[in-house]
Amino acid sequence: MNKKIVLAFLLMLQISWAQGQDLPEVKQDQTWKEKIYSLAPEKATFHFSEKKKILVFSLHTGYEHWVIPHTEQMIKIISEKSGAFEVTGSKDISMFEAKNLAKYDAIVLNNTCSKGDHRNLFWDKLRADSDADSAGLMNKALQLEKNLLKYVENGGGLLLVHGAVTTQNNSRAFSKLVGASFDYHPPQQAIQIRLADPKHLLVQAFPATGFNHVDEPYFYKNAYADLDFKPLLYFNNAEITDQKNPLTEGKTYVAWIRAQGKGKVMYCSPSHNAQSFENPDLLRFYLNGLQYVVGEVECDETPIGKGSL
């Protein structure tokens, strides 16, 4: 499919829905899969010697993003077509037992939104499935979180997609691991995404001017203030409408990477909508990100630190 035609179609969608309306849901059927397959990269950007094993974890207990199955399928498609990864999907929290995490080179948290009270995905699921003592269930939930933290510290990869930033949103340790906690988002709108450093290896798929798409512009709190990450993508705050606490200056990052011990972490906010996956540049970006978190990319991951906005 001609790339210019695809991008023109996406631009038409963005203009049509630029007033904060939600994009229509798209069926994740064979036609959609074939379209994404046709747009996916033919091969990986960076060299790899063997297929790495990826777990795509797609459980939600809070807000349900309609794009969850599309995101999992997108990751399977770019992995299969490039030949770089073997992908397993799951919604079973037992996958966060240490012995199960050890089976994978990286974990993808796919819009794993937690409920608004505890903001703890593991607790939500354990409580829903059991009437056992609350203290015991919370201890188990905390252990599963610790297993994930240790997994990354010891060399595992972690890629978080969009709403996954809320997985353990009240946990300071998780916030530090990811680089942020979720604060809020204004309504969906057309957003101009810009490149923090056009020369960075992981963003080479995009034009130097970035790209435009319809999404929820996320704002962050907690560890985000430390800016303990290397930013990849951002939007200008002044261009975002309907903010709760209007920011007229500076920028907010929407994708970044960071090293944690021996492991690698990447957060990518795009996208709330499956339509964004019809941008072949974004598919390449996700594939690059997967290669980064499994340790196949040597690139600048120096944190920018406070005072850099």
* Per-domain residue ranges of the chain: 3-293
Angle of helix 280-293 relative to helix 68-82, nearest 10 degrees, comes to: 80
More confident residue, 8 or 72: 72
| Interval 38-64 mean pLDDT | 97
Provide the whole-model pTM.
Answer: 0.92
| Interval 77-95 mean pLDDT | 98
State pLDDT tens for residues 106-129. Answer: 999 999 999 988 999 999 999 999
DSSP state of 190: E
What are the backbone angles phi and psi of residue 216, rounded to the nearest 5°?
-85, 120
The Cα–Cα gap between 45 and 60 comes to 31
| Interval 267-271 mean pLDDT | 95
Q: What is the pLDDT of residue 306?
A: 65
If DSSP codes are grouped into helix, strand and coil, which group holds residue 303?
Answer: coil
| Interval 79-100 mean pLDDT | 98
Would the pLDDT of 172 be above 60?
yes
Instruction: Give the pLDDT band of residue 16 (cuts 50, 70, 90).
Output: very low
Instruction: Give the pLDDT band of residue 21 (cuts 50, 70, 90).
Output: low
- Helices marked H in the chain: 3-16, 30-39, 68-82, 98-101, 121-129, 134-153, 172-178, 280-293
Buried b (16+ CB within 10 A) or exposed e, 270-281: bbbbbbbbbbbb
How confident is the prediction for the chain on average, in pLDDT? 93
What are the backbone angles phi and psi of residue 75, rounded to the nearest 5°?
-65, -40
State pLDDT tens for residues 223-266. Answer: 999 999 999 999 999 999 999 989 999 999 999 999 999 999 99
Would the pLDDT of 18 be above 80?
no
Q: What is the pLDDT of residue 116?
A: 87
The Cα–Cα gap between 304 and 230 comes to 6
DSSP state of 70: H
Domain 3-293 CATH assignment equals 3.40.1440.10? no
The Cα–Cα gap between 83 and 44 comes to 8
Q: What is the pLDDT of residue 22?
A: 80
State pLDDT tens for residues 145-164. Answer: 999 999 999 999 999 999 99
Question: Are residues 124 and 70 in contact, defined by beta-carbon separation less than 8 angstroms?
Answer: no
| Interval 292-304 mean pLDDT | 97
